[in-house]
Amino acid sequence: MTPTQPPGTTPRFDGYGVLITGAGRGIGAATAHRFASEGAHVLVTDLDGARAARTAEAIRESAPVRAAGGTAEALACDVADQDAVEAAVARAVAAFPTLDVLVNNAYACSTDVPLFEDESDESWQRDLDVSLTGPYRCARAALPHLVASGRGAIVNIGSVNGEQDFGNHGYSAAKAGLASLTRTLAGHAGPRGVRVNLIAPGTIRTDAWAGKDAQLARAAALYPLGRVGEAEDIASAVAFLASRDASWITGTTLRVDGGLTSSNYGFHQAVSDA
């Protein structure tokens, strides 16, 4: 659900410049829409440039976005390519008055193999290159501009996979590394006025789960809140961490997981006499 701005108030991200990776669909697209609906100028980047363009167009056509004065542009960007990352940051800096927020959302997640020893170097390296080194590249390129804005924030999209075993070895290792990078970068960037935080989502209903309604239903039963997450749940959390409402929060991991990692609800249900 897109928030509506109370009459006569200034949108929360009025005039902000926001760069989001992997924003052509899913969490990234919902986050781009959320920022634009609160007045931000958003650069929607995605490995698939056509997909990014469609998302940006849909955002521009949104009535809440038009009412808030938000904008959206699109650019193809592979975060595994340093030149592409630098081009995306340069585009945002040229297009917007300031670059204030970087959302590192792009990821790669290889399919699990039956045995750990069967995993290939190629799939392992791809997961790390996109999901961990990609955010490193983006943060490195964007940081001087985030410092210059005076209100800079980086929000990394991690995963509960970085905290517990849910499979996908390379992806999980990358997300655990991203949580560590978040903490160390927060310590480095904090004195320069830039906050760095991470969101660890649980199961989110996105295109990655298309055609898997039965699996999602089984997963929902394991969540204390009784449902899987929606992309908008994560977008809301990203907007909070990027806003001045979170001005004294940095270096933290915010779990947005329906309570999955707070208790072993599935085990409790399995052994309960009720």
**Amino acid in position 134:** G
Has residue 10 been placed in a domain?
A: no
Q: Do the domain assignments include residue 3?
A: no
In a domain, 1, yes or no: no
The pLDDT of residue 116 is 92
Query: Is 123 contained in some domain?
Result: yes
Within the chain, where are the H helices?
A: 26-37, 49-60, 63-68, 82-95, 121-128, 134-149, 169-189, 213-220, 231-242, 265-271
171 flagged as catalytic:
yes
Q: Which residue has the tokens 């309570």?
A: 259
Domain at 64, CATH number = 3.40.50.720
Structural domain harbouring 166: 17-271
**pTM for the structure as a whole:** 0.94
> Does the residue 54 lie in any domain?
yes
**pLDDT for 268:** 73
Written as six digits, the tokens of 93 are 């800096």
Contacts for 91 with CB less than 8 Å, ≥ 6 apart: 43, 73, 75
Domain assignment of residue 12, yes or no: no
Q: Which residues of the chain have pLDDT under 70?
A: 1-8, 273-274
226: left (phi over 0), alpha (psi -120 to 50) or beta: left
Report how many domains make up the chain: 1
**Which position among 16, 107, 171, 223 bears the catalytic label?**
171
Q: What is the pLDDT of residues 189-248, one digit of tens each?
A: 999 999 999 999 999 999 888 888 999 999 999 999 999 999 999 999 999 999 999 999
Tokens 């997963």 locate to 219
- Give the list of residues 6+ apart from residue 76 with CB closer than 8 angstroms, or none: 45, 46, 47, 48, 49, 52, 84
For residue 134, report the phi and psi dihedrals to the nearest 5 degrees: -60, -55
- Give the pLDDT confidence score for residue 6 in this predicted structure: 62
For residue 42, count CB atoms less than 10 angstroms from its CB and return exposed for 0-12, middle for 13-18, buried for 19 or more.
buried
The answer to whether position 11 is within a domain reads: no
What is the Cα–Cα distance from 37 to 239, expressed in whole angstroms? 11
**Residue 6 belongs to a domain:** no
Strand duo 195-201 + 153-157: pairing: parallel
Specify the pLDDT at position 264.
Answer: 79
pLDDT for 9 equals: 81
